[in-house]
Structure 1
């Protein structure tokens, strides 16, 4: 048995994994969907980048989890990648779901083409939060209208400091056992940062023929990939 700790991307909470969780539990594993500070049911809790890293570490240590498979989707690959290096022998594997990956000393927005200027301006204009996006943002990603509506209705503005504060790696990411899940409707190739990490003997690539939110568009297939990766 392993323990999956599931962390969804920007604006989302633990609820985003609702359709994936039953498949993992049916296979006999522990499953711990986690809401990061300042989001969903933790709305209003002050949060920076290291707050989110500590959220994940605290969840693992508070429940004394072993054989941990940390799962980070989209933005949350940044704190998950950092937390993975801090939980020591508790870690079994890291799964990055079409996510960003942390680079020591660099923030989430620093990897954007404009250095994150547009995102930073949006955060300032919205009282320190990255605002919600309209339904059109989710088009072309293999989602039904109902699934898009669910994402939009469940989302909360994202704490801006978590996007602009730098990552701090306790251990080189390429040394960690990891699987990167690339969702092809969101782009055919991984980013340069991910491509470099995939040259490591410890990293594997899995592709999904769906969009950036596979926990909604293909939850059963995503769970199957998780279970297969956990056996590595």
Structure 2
């Protein structure tokens, strides 16, 4: 039995995994969806990058979880990758779902312009996407409405604070899930990581929010990752 710890991307709380968690539990595994500080029901909790890493680590520590599969979607791949390193021999595998990956000393906004970072910092949060921004991602109108209604502003500090890694990310056992409607190939940094014999690539024929657009297919991939 594995213990899945799942963190959704920017703006989203643990609710984003509601269609995935039951399938994992029905297969006999534990499933723990995390709301990161500063969003959803934790929107009033101050949060930076280090806090988001600790949010994930705390779920593992407080539950005394073993054989942990850490799952990070989109932005949350950055704290998930760091948390996976920090839980040591409790880790079974880390799964990056169409996500960013951490690089030591780099942040989510490292590729943004100075003007974009300055505007984000001044505002203090990253506003959620509008309904029209989800076009072409394999989502129904009802699924788009569900995301838009559930999304909350994302804390700026978590996007601008740099990641901290003690060793190369390619040394961790990992699965990268590429959602093909959001681009046919992973980003260059992920392509380099996939050269590691500890990493595998799985493709999914949907958009960037597969936990809503194809939850059964994503659940099957996660179950397969637990066996890898």
TM-score range, shorter chain: over 0.9
CA contact (8 A) 1:175 1:202 kept: yes
- For 1:71 and 1:38, the matched residues in 2 are separated by 19
Structure 1: gaps spanning 5 or more residues: none
Superimposed CA distance per residue, residues 42-79 of structure 1 (whole angstroms, 9 cap, x where no aligned partner): 01100010000011111100110000000000000000
Residue 150 (structure 1) aligns with? 146
Q: CA deviation at 1:124?
A: 3.7
Superimposed CA distance per residue, residues 87-113 of structure 1 (whole angstroms, 9 cap, x where no aligned partner): 010000000000000000001111x3x
Query: Structure 1 residues 99 and 118 mapped into 2: Cα distance closer, same or farther (>3 Å)?
Result: farther
Q: Where do residues 12-31 of structure 1 align in structure 2 (5 Å cutoff)?
A: 12-31=12-31
Q: CA deviation at 1:116?
A: 4.2
Residue 198 (structure 1) aligns with? 194
Aligned Cα root-mean-square deviation (Å):
1.0
- For 2:47 and 2:121, the matched residues in 1 are separated by 16
Q: CA deviation at 1:171?
A: 2.6
CA contact (8 A) 2:2 2:66 kept: yes
- Aligned to 2:176, what secondary structure does the other structure show? strand
TM-score w.r.t. length of structure 1: 0.96
- Aligned to 1:16, what secondary structure does the other structure show? helix
- Aligned to 1:85, what secondary structure does the other structure show? helix
Number of aligned residues: 228
CA contact (8 A) 1:119 1:130 kept: no
CA contact (8 A) 1:3 1:31 kept: yes
Given the alignment, which residue of 116, 120, 125 partners 1:123?
120
Residue 184 (structure 2) aligns with? 188
Query: Structure 1 residues 46 and 208 mapped into 2: Cα distance closer, same or farther (>3 Å)?
Result: same
Answer yes or no: is 1:223 the counterpart of 2:219. yes
- For 2:116 and 2:28, the matched residues in 1 are separated by 41
